[in-house]
């Protein structure tokens, strides 16, 4: 039994192809059930995100579950040709598949290295497999080990502590430096597009609860506000919202500033010199830069934030070799434990059988030669000679078995030893 992976990601497949083979949450549950029906002895976990689709599977009989069989299944699920799947998807097996899963879970294979979201997505895929009954002994152990490997990378490197997206730096580094906490701060977010939505996630993670979303399309603002348990306001109410804001964020796609200095001055007077942090994440800029020159107004533009992202990205790259070494160690550790679990019982039974034969022959020799009264030291030497003989005879086949298992080829020698020495299963 070995772990197999077939899949693709942003590294090796265009988004158009990833869209064709992606699965929704409901479709994942249906797919793993269909896989078990086609391969009854199989285990399967299916990961499907916007950046990757990867199927991890194994079966009691490896011969029935190979690359062609898995590719054919995926093709059938999306009414595609098997050749199209084979041409654009990567196949890994054994320790290569294990190491790849650990790398994915630790976010070392992500578009944004170190993002926290991928580990939760891997866990979600594993949970679906558990609930559907498609996980089994091997997938249980390898996905639990992947979680441990990811946690170790998080704890022993700073990769996950270095923010590299503009919204994460804006909220996680700049805002937290200006304010001790966001819990009691009024946040006004201008724009409800992708950048605005990503920023909202970081605001919520940072503890912000008093958030108002303003967008030219009010319906979009309302929909996003409902998703994140926030407020929404009409675009015409922008200036009134600015007066009450502690944190003002711009993420619109406007072609010119939504607030210039001349318009901001009367609002500044109404604020009575209260501190205002402005995070301008838009290109072109949403706020005229000279607003930041006013007293108690701190304005950070996209260039300021991007330079922080670049600096953090360089720091992450320094940690990369250490993170990869940790993944390599965890892979080796898992494979050793897995191979020992497979070969250990056979080795133990073989040694027990040899000890039983040794004891039988030793007892027969002592009785036949009437050696009961033999000096204990001499008797001990005879027993040691028998042990040395057994060890020398068993060492070559057991060493070969361990080497074969380490390379992932256990079944051949394992079965041969069982038959040669007449060992029970």
Q: Is 229 left (phi over 0), alpha (psi -120 to 50) or beta?
A: left
Mean of the per-residue pLDDT values of the chain: 86
- Which residues are part of the catalytic machinery? 50
Mean pLDDT of 191-201: 91
Is 136 found in the same domain as 12? Answer: yes
Q: How far apart are the first and last CA of the chain?
A: 16
More confident residue, 3 or 395: 3
Asked, for residue 337, whether it belongs to a domain, the answer is no
Under the banding of pLDDT at 50, 70 and 90, the label for residue 161 is low
Q: Which of 4-13, 192-201, 228-237, 408-417 has the highest mean pLDDT?
A: 228-237
Domain count, the chain: 3
Asked, for residue 321, whether it belongs to a domain, the answer is no
Query: How far is C-alpha 79 from the geometric centre of its chain's CA atoms?
Result: 28
**What is the full DSSP assignment across 240-254?**
HHHHH-SEEEE----
Nearest to 40 by CA among 63, 56, 64, 23: 64
Place of tokens 């007892």: 363
Judge whether 71 and 86 are in contact, CB under 8 Å. yes
Per-residue pLDDT at 259 exceeds 70: yes
Is 262 found in the same domain as 203? Answer: yes
Is 11 found in the same domain as 147? Answer: yes
pLDDT of residue 276: 97
Is 195 found in the same domain as 120? Answer: no
Mean pLDDT of 352-365: 83
Judge whether 112 and 11 are in contact, CB under 8 Å. no
pLDDT of residue 211: 97
pLDDT of residue 49: 85
Is 384 found in the same domain as 280? Answer: no
Is 170 found in the same domain as 152? Answer: no
Distance CA 175, CA 201 (A): 14
**Over pLDDT 90: what percentage of the chain?**
43
Is 139 found in the same domain as 205? Answer: no
Instruction: Read off the CATH number of the domain in which 173 is found.
Output: 3.40.50.720
Q: Which two tokens stand for residue 121?
A: 């997505």
Distance CA 404, CA 324 (A): 25
Asked, for residue 312, whether it belongs to a domain, the answer is no
Asked, for residue 44, whether it belongs to a domain, the answer is yes
Is 143 found in the same domain as 10? Answer: yes
Domain boundary among 136, 156, 176: 156
Domain boundary among 300, 317, 334: 300
Mean pLDDT of 385-405: 79
pLDDT of residue 411: 59
Judge whether 229 and 205 are in contact, CB under 8 Å. no
Asked, for residue 322, whether it belongs to a domain, the answer is no
Residue 231 β-bridge partners: 212
Per-residue pLDDT at 25 exceeds 90: no
Asked, for residue 396, whether it belongs to a domain, the answer is yes
- Residues 295-298: contacts with CB under 8 Å, at least 24 apart: 297/268, 298/178
pLDDT in tens, 285-322: 999 999 999 999 999 888 878 777 677 777 777 888 99
Mean pLDDT of 181-198: 93
Distance CA 248, CA 216 (A): 16
Is 291 found in the same domain as 193? Answer: yes
Is 246 found in the same domain as 219? Answer: yes
Is 39 found in the same domain as 115? Answer: yes
Quote the domain boundaries for residue 383.
344-420
More confident residue, 166 or 95: 95
**What is the full DSSP assignment across 92-150?**
EETHHHHHHHHHHHTTSSSSSTT-SHHHHHHHHHHHHHHHHT---HHHHHHHHHHHHHH
Judge whether 267 and 242 are in contact, CB under 8 Å. yes
Judge whether 271 and 245 are in contact, CB under 8 Å. no
Is 113 found in the same domain as 93? Answer: yes
């Amino acid at each position: 039994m070995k772990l197999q992976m077939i899949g693709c990601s942003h590294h090796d497949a265009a988004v158009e192809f990833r869209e064709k083979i992606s699965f929704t949450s409901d479709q994942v549950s249906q797919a793993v059930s269909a896989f078990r029906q086609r391969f009854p002895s199989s285990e399967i976990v299916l990961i499907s995100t916007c950046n990757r689709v990867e199927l991890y599977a194994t079966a009691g009989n490896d011969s029935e579950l190979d690359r062609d069989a898995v590719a054919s299944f995926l093709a059938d699920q999306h009414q595609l040709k098997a050749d199209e799947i084979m041409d654009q998807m990567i196949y890994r097996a054994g320790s290569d598949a294990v190491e790849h899963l650990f790398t994915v879970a630790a976010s070392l294979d992500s578009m944004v290295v170190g993002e926290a979201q991928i580990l939760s997505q891997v866990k979600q895929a594993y949970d679906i497999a558990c609930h559907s009954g498609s996980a089994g002994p091997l997938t249980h152990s390898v996905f639990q080990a992947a979680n441990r490997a990811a946690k170790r990378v998080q704890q022993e490197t700073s990769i996950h502590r270095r923010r590299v997206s503009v919204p994460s730096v804006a909220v996680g580094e700049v805002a937290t430096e200006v304010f001790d906490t966001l819990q009691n701060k009024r946040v006004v977010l201008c724009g409800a597009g992708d950048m605005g939505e990503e920023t909202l996630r970081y605001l919520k993670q940072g503890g912000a609860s008093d958030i108002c979303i303003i967008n030219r399309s009010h319906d979009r603002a309302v929909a996003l506000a409902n998703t994140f348990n926030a407020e929404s306001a009409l675009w015409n109410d922008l200036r009134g919202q600015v007066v009450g804001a502690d944190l003002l964020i711009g993420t619109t796609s406007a072609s010119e500033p939504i607030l210039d200095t001349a318009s901001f001055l009367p609002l500044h007077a109404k604020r009575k010199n209260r501190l205002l942090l402005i995070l301008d994440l838009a290109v072109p800029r949403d706020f005229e830069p000279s607003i930041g020159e006013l007293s108690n107004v701190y304005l950070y533009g996209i260039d300021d934030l991007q330079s922080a992202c670049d600096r953090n990205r360089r720091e992450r790259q320094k940690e990369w070799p250490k993170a990869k070494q940790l993944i390599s160690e965890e892979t080796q550790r898992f494979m050793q434990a897995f191979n020992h679990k497979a070969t250990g019982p056979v080795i133990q039974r073989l040694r027990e059988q040899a000890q039983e034969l040794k004891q039988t022959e030793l007892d027969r020799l002592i009785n036949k030669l009437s050696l009961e009264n033999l000096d204990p030291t001499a008797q001990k030497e005879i027993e040691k000679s028998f042990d040395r003989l057994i060890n020398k005879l068993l060492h070559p086949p057991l060493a070969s078995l361990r080497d074969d298992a380490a390379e992932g080829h256990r079944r051949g020698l394992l079965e041969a030893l069982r038959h040669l020495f007449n060992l029970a299963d």
